[in-house]
Amino acid sequence: MSATIIDGKAFAGKVREKVAGHVSRLKDGHGITPGLAVVLVGEDPASQVYVRSKGKMTVEVGMKSVEHKLDVETSEADLLALIARLNADPDIHGILVQLPLPKHLNEDLVINSIDPAKDVDGFHISNVGLLGTGQKSMVPCTPLGCLMMLRDHHGSLSGMDAVVIGRSNIVGKPMAQLLLGDSCTVTIAHSRTKDLADVVRRADIVVAAVGRPEMVPGDWIKPGATVIDVGINRIERDGKTKLVGDVDFASCAAVAGAITPVPGGVGPMTIACLLANTVTAACRANGLAEPEGLTA
């Protein structure tokens, strides 16, 4: 194996430390405690795990964590009323509505009812538009985490060829915008892309975000390329449950220059960036200089 392993777990720890420093500054210097509200509708087990973990880390960096756990049958009107209350609450600087929502709720309508300044997921249509036009916005957490790791590893990304595999609104599309913002030449590949192997082989940076276990083999990777694996897939192997990414780690690590592992790569960066976005939102809401290195 030749690739440098990009340790997302350690990097996320450093980001949380930085966030905690800014939280102390806001508290001690300005009497402001950044507050994050997480809204969970229903009892999806994976979502419950995420929400618990978000709450714990929010408190660990010194911020206020508020959780609203709503019944699976909650009406759209009741959910919108809760969001309106959180939008108006000056102690709440970030609002996250855990997705997916139950089928009877219109996800776009709900997300777009969040005050864009408090939309720490960066999913509101205003933030999507601001990011797309290169303006200051709230940036989706997973792609922001990937960008931070890439910048840390490479310094400048200017002029690099990047391929993003996957075109989701949560990862693929914002990732492509961020890489474009850092002057990469960007290709977005997806399920209908002709000769995906050929497209990936041209890339200096490969971001895999498709949700298909180990679908990228090492012989698609240009020697020395950087591979960012966003996938978190649970598979059964040798009678055991195992977490694997969207790339075949062993064969890709043999060719790549650097690679993120699963687990311990992109995953821990997502929550760290959620906390970073919340402290950024709290600074902006109070007209204070925002932290450096925690935004795009």
> The tokens of 228 are what?
């960012």
Query: Catalytic annotation on 27?
Result: no
Q: Smallest distance, Å, CB 49 to ligand GUN?
A: 11
Q: Which is nearer to ligand GUN, 99 or 288 (CB)?
A: 99
Residues that bind ligand GUN (CB under 6 A): 96-99, 121, 141
Query: Which of 61, 141 has the CB closer to ligand GUN?
Result: 141
Identity of the residue, 6 or 269, whose beta carbon is nearer to ligand GUN in the bound complex:
269
Q: Round to whole Å and give the CA distance between 287 and 281.
A: 10
Clarify whether 54 is annotated catalytic: yes
Question: How near is the Cβ of 171 to ligand GUN at its closest, in Å?
Answer: 9
- If the CB atoms of residues 48 and 187 are measured against ligand GUN, the closer one turns out to be 48
Decide: 256 and 221 in contact? Cβ < 8 Å.
Answer: yes
The answer to whether 135 is a known catalytic residue is no
Active-site option among 18, 119, 121, 177: 121
Choose the catalytic residue: 54, 118, 173, 222.
Answer: 54
Pairing between β-strand 226-229 and β-strand 205-208 as defined by DSSP bridges: parallel
Least CB distance to ligand GUN at residue 47 (A): 7
The least CB distance from residue 39 to ligand GUN, in Å, is 9
Catalytic residues: 54, 98, 121
